[in-house]
Structure 1
Amino acid sequence: MEVPVCTLNSPSLALARQSLRDGLTRAGWDAETILNAELALAELVVNAWRHGATASPVVFYSLLGCTLRVSVSDESDALPEQRAPADLAETGRGLQLVQGLTHRWGVDPQKRGKSVWYELDFAA
């Protein structure tokens, strides 16, 4: 089953997570993988708000076969960098989390801004 492509241009993280959860549930994905997808999405959206020079990042997801691809686009040309935060730091671990929750992730520079994406594979 294919999940319809979803494009959201909304400051609502809850709406983006719900849309992704609903699509993956309909496609028969397991709860743990759906949670990983939601958490990775949340990290990318929060990073776009914090560092991406936009109040409304564009969230796009598609499911092709057993691979989910999620991208979050913002208007900043600055590429994200993984940091090594201090042990007690409250921020700076978002991309480490995305890397740990997903199978692949990366950044695609755009004409204006960038898209940060991840992929998750589902073992049917």
Structure 2
Amino acid sequence: MCSFNTPSLALSRQALRDGLTRAGWDPDTILNAELALVELIVNAWRHAHTVAPVVFYTLSGNTLRVSVSDESPALPEQRTPAELAESGRGLQLVSGLTDRWGVEPQQRGKNVWYELDSAA
């Protein structure tokens, strides 16, 4: 298990990429994991106003679980924005890139998570 607390998207992506590469995951699945991670971090910044969300990831067998914790009790909702809207598709993207995602309310804030299964 790895956890880190950083506002750096590049560092977050690199840590995830390195772990999955060492575990032998295929590049396409690694890219999906990175893109979904970026969406969750950006959502924490934008909607929860959390400057440095805490990111946890676990790799158990062929399943990756990534969780981003923020301080807002507001639960995210997957929306269907207008066709030309410039935002509002983040959770649709996470849903399309991952095998499962969800939200766990916490005493202070919430954890938004996703899971990906390796093809290996």
Structure 1 CA distance, aligned partners of 2:59 and 2:34?
14
Per-residue deviation, 1:6:
1.6
**1:39 equivalenced with 2:58 (yes/no):** no
Deviations 1:2-24 (A, max 9, x none): xxx22111110110000000000
The aligned length equals: 120
> 2:6 maps to what in 1?
10
5+ unaligned residues in a row in structure 2: which ranges?
A: none
Corresponding residue to 1:85 among 59, 81, 85: 81
Per-residue deviation, 1:117:
0.1
Structure 1 CA distance, aligned partners of 2:30 and 2:49?
28
Per-residue deviation, 1:123:
2.1
Secondary structure at 2:116 match in 1: strand
> 1:23 maps to what in 2?
19
Deviations 1:20-78 (A, max 9, x none): 00000000000000000000000000000001131000000010000000000000000
5+ unaligned residues in a row in structure 1: which ranges?
A: none
TM-score, scaled relative to structure 1: 0.95
Which structure 1 residue ranges, 4+ long, deviate > 6 Å from structure 2?
A: none
Corresponding residue to 2:72 among 67, 76, 79: 76
Secondary structure at 1:99 match in 2: helix
C-alpha RMSD of the superposition: 0.6
Structure 2 CA distance, aligned partners of 1:123 and 1:9?
29
> 2:58 maps to what in 1?
62
TM-score, scaled relative to structure 2: 0.98
Corresponding residue to 2:104 among 102, 108, 116: 108
